[in-house]
Amino acid sequence: MDNQVEKKKKTNPFLTYFKDLGTAIAKGDVSVKLSMLFMGAGYTFHKQVIKGILVTLIEIAFIIMCIFYAAPNLAKFGTLGTVQFEQVLDPLTLQTTVNDYDNSFTILLNSIIALFLIVCFILFWISNMKSVYRLQVLDNEPESLTKKHINTFREDVRSLFSEKFHLTLLSLPALGVILMNIIPIFVLIAIAFTNYDQAHMPPNALFTWVGVSNFKSLFANSLTVTFGYAFRKILGWTLLWAVLATLTTFIFGILLAMLINSKTTKLPKMWRTLFIVAIAVPQFVTLLLVRYFFGDTGIVNSICSNIGVTEFLKSVGLVSQHLNYIPFLSSEHWAKFMIVMINIWVGVPYQMLIATGVLMNIPSDQIESAKIDGATNFQAFIHITMPYILFIQGPSLITDFVKNINNFNVIYLLTNNAFITPDQKLANSNAKEVDLLVTWLFRLTNDYYNYKMASVIGIIVFVICAVFTILSFTRMISGDREGDYQ
């Protein structure tokens, strides 16, 4: 007996999954075997008629879906369509005739949905076989006190609201995730392998599969295509930005929270409210305003030149001689500096809120006993408060980091149209020094319709984010470090 348990533990869950199916098919009675074709057969035969009918209805719906939806789309999936849009206007009657054209994008999208439905159906079919077999085993058990009762349909439905309530609760969010996240991601991945761009835009033109050539051109750095150069440069800045933005807002958030929490601060509630008001103003409004303040002819520049700051910076060499303004958002280093600064300003209130919550929960006995032992405030902060905050906020720091890799608002709203790259190689690939991968991706799709390269970048951003998340989560949360703080 022990041996068997041991064995079972070792077997691959994947294998078990199919083994169970094999058992169901091999040992099932006629009705179970019949369920392979008519899915409701097993249920109907074993006293669960309504369930049998429902399952059969699902099967019929699936077959109809296959014939009228999946088959026509999947048939064209290999080529993504061959008939180009043609429309003829008869100048005499002012009526148009349109041919029965293929829309590559619709074919791609529908095929992926169809494939998805087919996979779902196969999984459903397998689980159906298994549960029909379980039902048969249950039904064939000789009458006894220990024999389990076969649920009626009503009881099944009721169980969805009691012991199986998790299924009911999770089905809606799961469906949402599939529709909103998973299918679009598959479409995005597929587009990276096509030539979907300005010259191949459905519905008027067709696009088709091109293999991995888009990935090749991303890393190629020939003279004509500077995409690889632009990619490396932007990737570097994206990572630097994500680190800077995350750390600065984090540190300043904690400092601010401690300042407000400090016993010597007057009116802490008022200060906290003021910072929360800053959150309540939509971020893009703040950013657009700030952008105009710091524009080349903006108010900050006119103040600076009036009080002589501009001249001073010129004499120090921070502003080049030919300018008569401070290029806050229009030269590379100034713009990067300003973006980080403005981001601190925009992001600190959030961090302050979180840090306030954490600070309030730090057990005061530790700090008090440390102080009795003669620790200074600073030592208490470094050795007790900081580790505690880091432990609690570790996961949220990682999410912040990933969020900052994709921080579209700050970069795009501050630099769009204001920043013109002086680097011809970047300009030739529609990129700028201050671009993050995500803003570059946006301009490629929105301004240049280069969907295929945008998808490639999208996949790479995804991979980067995934790698960072997995690495840091496993490092930070692995082990049972919670014990250290109890």
List residues binding other proteins (CB under 8 A). 85, 87, 89, 91-96, 197-199, 201, 203-205, 217, 223-226, 292, 295-298, 302, 320, 322-324, 330, 417-418, 420-428, 430, 446-450, 452-453
Q: Show the tokens assigned to 465.
A: 């984010």
Separation CA 196–CA 458 (nearest Å):
14
> Which residues are CB-contacts of 24 (< 8 A; sequence separation ≥ 6)?
32, 129, 130, 132, 133
Min dist CB 296 to other proteins, Å, is 5
> Closest CB to other proteins among 174 and 299?
299
Structure-token match 């496993």, residue found: 474
Min dist CB 71 to other proteins, Å, is 23
Min dist CB 303 to other proteins, Å, is 13
Q: Is 52:40 a contact under the CB 8 Å cutoff?
A: yes
> Closest CB to other proteins among 171 and 302?
302
Min dist CB 421 to other proteins, Å, is 5
Backbone φ and ψ of 90, nearest 5°: -85, 110
> Closest CB to other proteins among 86 and 156?
86
Where are the extended beta strands (E) located within 383-484?
A: none
Question: What residues does 88 pair with on adjacent strands?
Answer: 97
> Closest CB to other proteins among 77 and 294?
294
Min dist CB 75 to other proteins, Å, is 22
What are 57-64's contacts with CB under 8 Å, separation 24+? Answer: 58/124, 62/117, 62/121
Min dist CB 102 to other proteins, Å, is 13
> Closest CB to other proteins among 225 and 362?
225
> Closest CB to other proteins among 330 and 439?
330
For residues 299-331, one letter each, b for 16 or more C-beta atoms within 10 angstroms of the residue's C-beta and e for the rest, the string is: ebbeebeeeeebeebbeeeebeeeeebbbbbbb
Helix (H, G, I), strand (E, B) or coil at 296: coil
> Closest CB to other proteins among 29 and 296?
296
Min dist CB 285 to other proteins, Å, is 17
